[in-house]
Amino acid sequence: MTEQADILQPLPDALDKASAALASGRLVAFPTETVYGLGASAMIDEAVAAIFEAKGRPHFNPLIVHVPDSATAAQHTVFDERASLLADTFWPGGLTLVLPRRPDTPISLLVSAGLDTMAVRCPAHPVAHALLERAGPLAAPSANASGKLSPTQATHVAASLGTGHGHLAMVLDGGECAIGLESTVIGLPLDGPATLLRPGAVPGEDVEAVLGYALAKAAPHTPNDDSTQGRSSPGQLASHYAPDAPIVLNATQFDENDVVLAFGAEPCPLPKGSLNLSPSGNLREAAAHLFSMLRLLDAVAHGKRITVMPIPMDGLGTAINDRLTRAAAPRP
Ligand code: TXA
Ligand code: MG
């Protein structure tokens, strides 16, 4: 029989157990302010390999290394002036920086999935921070099965990965994630401009305001192309964040075949079971509800479509629309 992983409150005793489990090469799911992460000690090859196995994640898709501070990031990556400026402004928080690996870093090569770069982020959530202080750098993707919705509550992790998985020692329950969308990923190549690899929790406009110039955009990916050719952030596959029900975007008319994910004022009475991301039209509130409401609608859809009202493209709207577009893309 597989050992069951517990969902634990993040008391000091549980944090000690979690860091012991990580040191022995097991996985621990933990809360961050963006989404829950599936953590492994970034220095242990077998533990990092277990992340790919537990998620069913393609091996070409590299992982973010979470660090307690920018000094730790600078031990493992070539942390240039642009990186320092962005880290000083946005860390701890929802910004990930992709930087050249230092040749002497003991961080597992598996996190980089064959690239010569490493993604680093210092999260703000107190539980994530307490764990990083005890356990050191943690490789952690979102704690969901590959291609599925990201978890914003501890129970979502159990539902997506199954707590009976042999590698997963425990889930630390830090409540609901305040932001609810994954970090913004920025590439900082030595010889090239700062590039937006994934829109996310920190609006691209805010990063541009600090840098003083426009971010370059990542090369577009081709739908469901499984190769890394021409794609500077291998995780940006067309279909991702997918519920089971089909999704229709930018809809303003609905019928009995829809359950609606509304935003702002509702144009007409909505079909039974519909939900509103933010009745007042607030994008922060909408981001925080996005993944959990998609899960709830998926559970009641029973053959119907999830039909989503238009969401404006400013601020967090860029990242919300990015996730919805991928959720609606043809499935592999
Ligand atoms: O908010 C977040 O970023 C969450 C929490 C747990 O920190 N993590 C997360 O990880 O969303 P994941 O693995 O689901 O997404 C990481 C993204 C992927 O698109 C991956 O391809 C990209 O970051 N990435 C990681 N390392 C990279 C690298 N060296 N070069 C380019 N892209 C990289
Ligand atoms: Mg993910």
Give per-residue pLDDT as tens, 233-267. 666 667 888 899 999 999 999 999 999 999 999 99
Q: Tell me what the mean pLDDT of segment 7-13 comes to.
A: 90
Pocket test for ligand 1, best of 142, 181, 291 (most atoms within 8 A of CB): 142
Instruction: Look at residue 226 and tell me whether its pLDDT is greater than 70.
Output: no
Q: Is 179 in the pocket of ligand 1 (CB under 6 A)?
A: no
Bridge-based pairing of strands 138-139 and 37-41 is antiparallel
Q: What pLDDT band is residue 220 in, cutting at 50, 70 and 90?
A: low
Q: According to the model, what pLDDT value does residue 29 have?
A: 97
Q: Is 240 in the pocket of ligand 1 (CB under 6 A)?
A: no
- Work out which ligand 1 atom sits closest to the CA atom of 94: 1
User: Which residues have CB less than 5 Å away from ligand 2 (the ion)?
Assistant: 142
Q: Tell me what the mean pLDDT of segment 162-191 comes to.
A: 91
Kindly report the protein residue whose alpha carbon is nearest to atom 7 of ligand 1.
Answer: 37
Q: Tell me what the mean pLDDT of segment 157-173 comes to.
A: 84
- Work out which ligand 1 atom sits closest to the CA atom of 115: 29
Q: Which ligand is closest to the CA of 144, given by its number?
A: 2
3-state secondary structure (DSSP) of residue 52? helix
Domains belonging to the chain, first-starting first, are 6-225 (3.90.870.10), 247-328 (3.40.50.11030)
3-state secondary structure (DSSP) of residue 122? coil
Pocket test for ligand 1, best of 64, 101, 183 (most atoms within 8 A of CB): 64
CA of 272 to the centre of ligand 2 (A): 30
Q: According to the model, what pLDDT value does residue 222 have?
A: 47
Instruction: Look at residue 42 and tell me whether its pLDDT is greater than 80.
Output: yes
Instruction: Look at residue 223 and tell me whether its pLDDT is greater than 60.
Output: no
Q: According to the model, what pLDDT value does residue 229 have?
A: 43
Cβ–Cβ under 8 Å, residues 133 and 18 = no
Q: Tell me what the mean pLDDT of segment 20-40 comes to.
A: 98
pTM of the predicted model as reported, rounded to 2 decimal places: 0.94
Q: Which ligand is closest to the CA of 148, given by its number?
A: 2
d(CA 206, CA 280) in angstroms, rounded, equals: 23
CA of 253 to the centre of ligand 1 (A): 35
Q: Tell me what the mean pLDDT of segment 82-103 comes to.
A: 98
d(CA 211, CA 208) in angstroms, rounded, equals: 5
d(CA 169, CA 173) in angstroms, rounded, equals: 13
Q: Is 183 in the pocket of ligand 1 (CB under 6 A)?
A: yes
